[in-house]
Amino acid sequence: MSALDRLPPTAREQVTDALTALETSDTPLAADAYPALYDPALRAHVTRELDAVGRVLLERDGTYLSGYADDVADELAAAGIGQLDETDRAVLTLVLLHAVAIPRARGQTDGDSWLDAVEFDPDRLSQQWSNPHLTKKAIRTSLRNLRDAGVLRRGHRSAVVPGPQFQRLTDARNELLWSNLVLLAAPDSLLAAAIRRRAATATGGATR
Amino acid sequence: MAERLDPRTAAAAVRAAGAIPARCVDQAAVNRLLAPSGRQLVSCTSRGERHLTVRWNDETAPVIDQDKVVAPIATRAFALTFAAVLGCCWTQPDDDPYPGEPVGVDEAIAAASGQVSYTWAKGALDHSLSAAGLVELDSDTVRLGHAVAAFTTGQISALRRLYDQLPRPAGSTAEDT
């Protein structure tokens, strides 16, 4: 018998309602719409049931969503499960550079979320970055793949911005992604040097 | 994916991949972990190999309520092309739609014609519908994908009520199947 089975039927139903919504919604859930997210005791059950299947409860500004537990995400990545292919990753990096990193460096965005982005015309990617290894057609295909996966979403007209999947990243994943973007965009900066030092300390080895 | 996954990782892997080879999973152990949240593994076939995907139970299946749970909205080409594939592959309305019968890609696209152009239908088959696991393409044939195996009985009942209205190739009717 699981801990959930020992709850009264109404409370159990509230926990499963929250689990279903957390695992399927495209946007974070307001706690006041779900008793099992609002009530700390029931929320502990939600957290436990998510952990059992390799997931974590993410809380941001009083709203909730689920994501992959970091240890499980590492295992899935090592096994090559659910990964974007190399071209899609390259195109995503370029979009993040243009839609998030550059606007943030210029002070055009306020927040520190991936969704605090400036809409970006994907045609600029083809104009600026296409080459024999990353053709215009490959860029177009990747943009479609990324939109289908919810990693990007459509903005105004044909613009793209980071999509709902970014809200399912843990703090550690967000920091890792941001660090990698800094290493790419400003490899000689003081921030990049600090990131490399921290990575070297964490792994106990030397990194560039 | 050759190695057997521990049950916790396997539960997450099914979500990440949509379906994973059954040989990598202790199905009973993963089902014990999924049961409290109202889900279970069900069998499907991909590229000729038995796979497992996750199905919600009817009582816990997501109900889209845009005030609370926001879900992506299917484009017209996505929805109509999938309806055409379903109409062509689901030949026995008394049975569940999955696995159904494979059909020629051109036959499925012909069923959608008049409502969606060849280019849009082919694009939906090749990309969005394949990525969503709703169809599986194999050279010049298309079959229903693992996401259809995950339809709940409630969803299937709703589709069965629409069975006669699903697009089919010209000259073919629901009664022929």
Q: Please report the domains of chain B, with CATH numbers, ordered by start residue.
A: 7-56 (no CATH), 76-176 (1.10.10)
Domain endpoint, select from A73, A101, A128: A73
State pTM to two decimals: 0.88
Domain endpoint, select from A15, A39, A73: A73
The answer to whether residues A132 and A179 belong to one domain is yes
| pLDDT at residue A67 in the model | 97
Give the model confidence (pLDDT) of A57-70 as tens digits.
999 989 999 999 99
Amino acid letter at B66?
Answer: Q
The residues near A63 (Cβ < 8 Å, ≥ 6 apart) are A28, A29, A30, A31
For residue A68, being part of any structural domain is answered with yes
For residue A80, being part of any structural domain is answered with no
Whichever domain contains A174, its CATH number is 1.10.10
- Could you say which of B17, B20, B72 has the minimum Cβ distance to residue A150? B72
For residue A147, being part of any structural domain is answered with yes
DSSP state, residue B169: -
The answer to whether residues A41 and A122 belong to one domain is no
Domain endpoint, select from A20, A40, A73: A73
Per-window interface: A 115-174 vs B, CB < 8 A:
141, 144-145, 148-150, 164
**Tokens 């099914």 label which residue?**
B14
Shortest Cα distance, chain A CAs vs residue B2, angstroms: 9
List chain B residues with CB under 8 Å of A74.
none
The answer to whether residues A65 and A127 belong to one domain is no
| pLDDT at residue A207 in the model | 38
The answer to whether residues A191 and A156 belong to one domain is yes
| Domains contained in chain A, number | 2
B134 touching chain A per CB within 8 A: no
Q: Which domain holds residue A98?
A: 86-203
Lookup: tokens for A177: 């992604």
A2 or A68, which is more confident: A68
Give the model confidence (pLDDT) of B41-71 as tens digits.
999 999 999 999 999 998 888 776 656 666 6
Please say whether the beta carbons of B36 and A92 come within 8 A: no
The answer to whether residues A61 and A20 belong to one domain is yes
Give the model confidence (pLDDT) of B88-125 as tens digits.
999 999 999 999 999 999 999 999 988 899 999 999 99
For residue A79, being part of any structural domain is answered with no
Which site among B32, B51, B69, B81 would you substitute to test the A interface, given the most A Cβ atoms closer than 10 Å to its Cβ?
B69
For residue A208, being part of any structural domain is answered with no
The answer to whether residues A52 and A117 belong to one domain is no
Is the pLDDT at A166 greater than 80? The verdict is: yes
The answer to whether residues A61 and A139 belong to one domain is no
The answer to whether residues A34 and A61 belong to one domain is yes
Mean pLDDT of A19-44: 93
B61 touching chain A per CB within 8 A: yes
The answer to whether residues A104 and A190 belong to one domain is yes
Give the model confidence (pLDDT) of B4-29 as tens digits.
899 999 999 999 999 999 999 999 99
The answer to whether residues A92 and A164 belong to one domain is yes
Please say whether the beta carbons of B145 and B97 come within 8 A: no
List chain B residues with CB under 8 Å of A4.
36
β strands within B108-171, DSSP E: 135-138, 141-144
Lookup: tokens for B114: 């008049």
List chain A residues with CB under 8 Å of B61.
20
B24 touching chain A per CB within 8 A: no
The answer to whether residues A104 and A34 belong to one domain is no
The answer to whether residues A110 and A147 belong to one domain is yes
- B88 burial level (CB within 10 Å; 0-12, 13-18, 19+): buried
Which site among A1, A46, A72, A74 would you substitute to test the B interface, given the most B Cβ atoms closer than 10 Å to its Cβ?
A72
How far apart, in whole angstroms, are the C-alpha atoms of residue B36 and residue A50?
Answer: 10
For residue A168, being part of any structural domain is answered with yes
